[in-house]
Amino acid sequence: MESFDSESAPLPRNMIENSMFEEEPDVVDLAKEFPSYPIDSDDVVYEPRSSRLLVRGLGENDLDEDEEDYESSARLLGMSFMNRNSSQRSAASSYIRQQPSGWCSMPSAWTMVVGVLILVLVASMIMVIYFLPGCTFTRDGCKKTMDTVYPVSTSGELFPWTELRLPVSVHPVHYNISLHPNLTSMTFQGSVSIIVQVLQVTKKIVLHSSDMKIISATFEGKEVKILEYKPWQQIAIKFPDDLKKGQYVLNINYTANFSSSYDGFYNSSYVDTTGAKRVLAATQFEPLAARKAFPCFDEPGFKSTFLIKITREPKYISLSNMPKAKTSNLSNGLQEDEFEKSVNMSTYLVAFIVAEFSSVSKNVSKTMVSVYAVPDKKDQVHYALETAGKLLDFYNTFFEIDYPLSKLDLVAIPDFLAGAMENWGLITFRETTLLVGNHSSHIDKQLVTCVIAHELAHQWFGNLVTMRWWNDLWLNEGFATYMQYTSIETVFPELDIDTEFLSIRFRALAKDALNSSHPVSTVVSTPEQVEEMFDSVSYEKGASILLMLNGTLTGEEFRKGVIEYLQKYTFRNTESEDLWNSLSQIMNTWTVQKGFPLVSVKRNGTQVTLTQEHFHLNSENTKDSSLWHIPLTYVNDSCSALSSCKQVFHLKDKTATLKLPAQVKWLKFNYRSDGFYIVHYDEEGWRVLNEALSVDVNILPREDRAALINNIFALSRLGKVPFRQVLNLMEYIRNETETAPLTEALFQLAQIYRLLDKRSELNLVSRMKSYIFEHFGSLMDSQSWEQENSVSKITLRSALLEIACSLNRHNCTTQAKLIFDQWLASNKTNQIPSDLMTTVFKVAAQTEDGWTTLLDMYKYSNYDTEKRKTLEALASTQDVKKIILILQKSLDGSVIETHEFPFVINTICKNLPGYLYTWYFVKENWDKIIQKFPVGSYAIQSIIMSTTSQFSTKTHLVEAQNFFSSLGDRGSQMRIVQEAIETIKLNMLWLENNLNTLQNWL
Ligand SMILES: [Zn+2]
């Protein structure tokens, strides 16, 4: 899945150095107690703590892993789990089996034989435990005592299962699913027939089902009773006698309403160009919502085949993962589409759509690729079709495994929350991430290309080879994100994707520097925790560490390893694991520990002392002894601009010494910022780099210059360098012309500007503005406002002009107004360069007339990228009444689609007038918000960070703490809540420590 970033520059993060506050209790993140462990010792077998804990909680899942025949991607990939040897594994298993699972059985004949007394004793114990105060069956469970007590199902009978994860004694083999969605009554009827394989003798079958009414069920043709335990979205059938090993058929008939949120089988509507309302039904199952559309074993490890049939009115078409096999006319005037039997796949990848769509298609090697959209937008699908074709060719060649289906559909859904979803053979997108109109800029195309490249990569990483459980989501998302940049760099070099990837890595570092971060591979069990895995750690840090790994290998090694991995676990052959084995030595430390290292460099002649420590913005964690295996790269003044200059030193210990062969003027570590760490030099080290840059910026590649800027701001937050030193380095920026360093500098300064603005430090705000103009003013004024094709130039001028106009730079606002007026006067035929639209519209939105004109445009525009830019302008108004209107409209979904609500909030909160009001609005409407967006989801994460990340006072801290703790199970346990509180505290401290410096030096 592609989370939809509310904006190209991610949310503002914390700013800061040492912190005095207590570490927050961390329910989610067990990694805090992470023991330090020796690295690189062959004797020590390391098992990630998280996975061990996860296994312990699985009850009947606790089979010996050798008995499990589905993929545990982490184990298979040879990273997190690679080092386990068999003796360790059996030791772990025996430990696991100490769980008294037999204890939990229902009273049996055996207990009666033993005697009534024991039975009574056991029963009374169960009663006592059950009625213990506080022992309720929440999603978090009831700790140790709960394992021994069965929950009560909806009917009042005891439910025969006590875990969130399903038992593995029964596996699904194949599903026949028939669905009849009724787009008038907004309900659907379904029947599912599941062939199950009983692997171990059992008396129960447990599976998932949510929000549906079960009409009838049969097992092997005989009617059976279904028990339901709603809090865990599970249903079960209890059998009086043992089910022997073998295959059986379970049938369930049910009805349900379409989902009112953006997951499950949901209905969506839009208004076409004639003003008529059109409806459609679509699915979004990842991570946990297939169970809302049909009863199923809804965990990624339970792969199965699917045969889907859909009944519809003749005016609609239906689509699913596989090609359509046949259509039959039914007696009631309806038609039934039947799709081919699917490949073996996880439930979260199943998809179907019923809609009125138009499409274009073309053959790409053996696959028919099609792009679908609503008929009004059929002229906007061609770019996606061409792009998907080129990328499919690239991946077929790169992975040396052909895409296995005969068709691949890409569908733009009018109302869709995520950025896109990689359903096998039926990828769904937002309209803005798939459709490209005539006026779209190269940046719009860059976004569409990125999303298509990401979702296509998932057809291999995620679909073909799948993580067994959500704790290793990064194997899906990290790889797909990494591959999206790799493929685009090769296939579309003109899109300048390297700069984008670099800034993504910087944002991932900022997030991972917080205590509230988590290891890439981390324990998850509740639905909220699963939702929360879709964050920048899984995606961007995952991709960053893969880039670092690739950088340490030579030639084709990385690709060969990837191919070997895919082949091995698609076709289950047992090739040598040596390659990944050796890679895992490096990767272990990066996947199981949260955070990243700070490398300090001290040079004395040719002797360089290197030290690593955890880069932790919260300095309370001084005892942290995490160590990473860092493939440390470096260049020096004699050779620095070419890749061949790069040298590598493996830093595995706390401290090491590097001996240089000759004297150098300066050293720069982390060549092109390919590694996921931050580097600090001693005073002399920074001074010589600074000096060299001020003479000639080209002594280092642009990525290195951007990284120096990024790193020094981060070091100042950490308290390692005074802010004065940051400003010293920034002096070179007047000679800078490259996009990556300039946009990074602007990003950092804008963050500080916003924080000061929100604190109403008026004097400093105006001095900061002068500082920005002094350093970037001439560059801002020299930007062209004409059509421009170079992505790099467009990216730079958008960033410069957006800040210039938002700070009311006269040249900028005058030009923007002029362009807007000319555009209106020409009846919108006088094109505005698409990358400048947001800037121009934002200036226009500040007047009454301009805002009203834009609102009308928003309502009637048929181009979604243009619409989004218009919405951003509308939300940037300084008029609080208009802000209230937009907030209400977007939450209700009237005029503004509800999926834009997080984006609207993010935009409003950047400016002073609306940000406090928005916080109150979110608090006031919390229950309504979490009905639309799942607790823990990316949308909720974005809403929380947008509204709180610029707070920097005690009053706001207390207010935020009180609000979040009042939420209880409506969100108080979310990791993002800890991140929000931590960020506010860090903001407070940063201002406390730096207000004086800013007064003195700005
Ligand atoms: Zn994804």
DSSP string, 649-666: EEE-SSEEEEE-SS--S-
Q: Is the pLDDT score of 890 beyond 70? A: yes
C-alpha 421 – ligand 1 centre gap (Å): 7
518 Cβ contact partners less than 8 Å away, ≥ 6 residues apart: 28, 29, 31, 537, 594, 975
The radius of gyration computed from the CA coordinates of the chain, to the nearest angstrom, equals 29
- Separation of alpha carbons 69 and 750, rounded Å: 52
Q: DSSP string covering 340-378, please?
A: PPPPSB-GGG--EEEE--EEEEEEETTEEEEEEE-GGGG
C-alpha 400 – ligand 1 centre gap (Å): 21
- Predicted pLDDT of residue 8: 37
DSSP reduced 3-state for 605: coil
Q: Is the pLDDT score of 39 beyond 70? A: no
Omega of the bond leading into 902 within 30 degrees of 0 (cis): no
| Residue 297, token pair as written in the block | 């074993």
Contact 591, 34 (CB under 8 A): no
Q: Is the pLDDT score of 109 beyond 50? A: no
- Predicted pLDDT of residue 558: 86
Contact 524, 471 (CB under 8 A): yes
Q: Is the pLDDT score of 578 beyond 70? A: no
Backbone angles phi, psi at 698, to 5 degrees: -80, 5
Name the pLDDT band for 830 (thresholds 50, 70, 90).
confident
C-alpha 797 – ligand 1 centre gap (Å): 29
**Which is higher by pLDDT, 72 or 652?**
652
- Predicted pLDDT of residue 315: 96
The DSSP letter of residue 25 is P
- Predicted pLDDT of residue 620: 67
The H helix count followed by the E strand count for the chain is 32, 27
- Predicted pLDDT of residue 15: 27
Lowest mean pLDDT: which of 78-92, 609-623, 689-703? 78-92
Lowest mean pLDDT: which of 66-75, 511-520, 736-745, 838-847? 66-75
Name the pLDDT band for 29 (thresholds 50, 70, 90).
very low
**Structure confidence by residue, pLDDT tens digits, 669-678:** 999 999 999 9
C-alpha 48 – ligand 1 centre gap (Å): 24
Which of 914, 862, 861, 858 has its CA nearest to residue 884?
A: 914
- Predicted pLDDT of residue 735: 92
- Separation of alpha carbons 25 and 919, rounded Å: 24
| Residue 250, token pair as written in the block | 């379970």
Q: Is the pLDDT score of 720 beyond 60? A: yes
C-alpha 2 – ligand 1 centre gap (Å): 4
- Predicted pLDDT of residue 797: 96
pTM of the prediction?
0.85
Lowest mean pLDDT: which of 114-118, 296-300, 508-512, 701-705? 114-118
Helical (H) or strand (E) element with 773: helix 762-781
- Predicted pLDDT of residue 564: 84
Burial of 47 from C-beta contacts in 10 A (0-12 / 13-18 / 19+): middle
- Give me the count of residues in the chain: 1002
- Predicted pLDDT of residue 582: 56
C-alpha 560 – ligand 1 centre gap (Å): 22
- Predicted pLDDT of residue 581: 60
Which of 522, 375, 367 has its CA nearest to residue 456?
A: 367
- The mean pLDDT of 9-14, rounded to a whole number, is 29
- Separation of alpha carbons 406 and 412, rounded Å: 20
C-alpha 286 – ligand 1 centre gap (Å): 10
Examine the residue annotation and report whether 620 is marked as an active-site residue of this protein: no
Q: What percent of the chain has pLDDT over 70?
A: 84
C-alpha 544 – ligand 1 centre gap (Å): 15
- Separation of alpha carbons 632 and 187, rounded Å: 58
- Predicted pLDDT of residue 157: 94
| Residue 735, token pair as written in the block | 């000679």
**Structure confidence by residue, pLDDT tens digits, 121-172:** 545 554 444 444 333 444 444 444 444 589 999 999 999 999 999 999 999 9
385 Cβ contact partners less than 8 Å away, ≥ 6 residues apart: 360, 361, 362, 369, 370, 371, 410
Which of 588, 598, 599, 731 has its CA nearest to residue 656?
A: 599
Q: Is the pLDDT score of 52 beyond 60? A: no
Q: Which of 2, 299, 422, 455 is catalytic?
A: 455
Name residue 356's amino acid.
Answer: E
Q: Is the pLDDT score of 101 beyond 50? A: no
C-alpha 477 – ligand 1 centre gap (Å): 5
Q: Is the pLDDT score of 888 beyond 80? A: yes
> What is the Cα 962 distance to its own chain's centre?
28
- Predicted pLDDT of residue 127: 47
**Which is higher by pLDDT, 6 or 648?**
648
Name the pLDDT band for 386 (thresholds 50, 70, 90).
very high
- Predicted pLDDT of residue 148: 58
Which of 928, 983, 986, 945 has its CA nearest to residue 3?
A: 945
Q: Which residue has the tokens 């609609």?
A: 316
- Predicted pLDDT of residue 837: 95
Q: Is the pLDDT score of 95 beyond 50? A: no
- Separation of alpha carbons 155 and 788, rounded Å: 66
- The mean pLDDT of 249-275, rounded to a whole number, is 93
C-alpha 184 – ligand 1 centre gap (Å): 33
- Separation of alpha carbons 172 and 198, rounded Å: 9
- Predicted pLDDT of residue 64: 35
Name residue 859's amino acid.
Answer: K
Helical (H) or strand (E) element with 265: strand 264-271
Strands 170-182 and 305-312: parallel
- Separation of alpha carbons 548 and 583, rounded Å: 11
Q: Is the pLDDT score of 85 beyond 90? A: no
Mean pLDDT of the chain: 85
Contact 905, 501 (CB under 8 A): no
- Separation of alpha carbons 844 and 840, rounded Å: 6
- Predicted pLDDT of residue 258: 96
626-660 burial, b at 16+ Cβ within 10 Å, e below that, comes to bbbbbbbbbbbbeebeeeeeeeeeebbeeebebee
**Structure confidence by residue, pLDDT tens digits, 263-296:** 999 998 888 989 899 999 999 999 999 999 999 9
570 Cβ contact partners less than 8 Å away, ≥ 6 residues apart: 401, 464, 465
Contact 62, 96 (CB under 8 A): yes
> CA-based angle 640:645:648, to the nearest 5?
115
Q: What is the dihedral of CA 434, 440, 443, 449, to 10 degrees?
A: 30
- Predicted pLDDT of residue 568: 79
Name the pLDDT band for 583 (thresholds 50, 70, 90).
low
- β-sheet with 426-430: strand ranges across: 358-364, 367-373, 407-413, 426-430, 420-421
**Structure confidence by residue, pLDDT tens digits, 721-772:** 999 899 999 999 999 999 999 999 999 999 999 999 999 999 999 999 999 9
Contact 126, 101 (CB under 8 A): no
Name residue 734's amino acid.
Answer: R
- The mean pLDDT of 926-949, rounded to a whole number, is 94
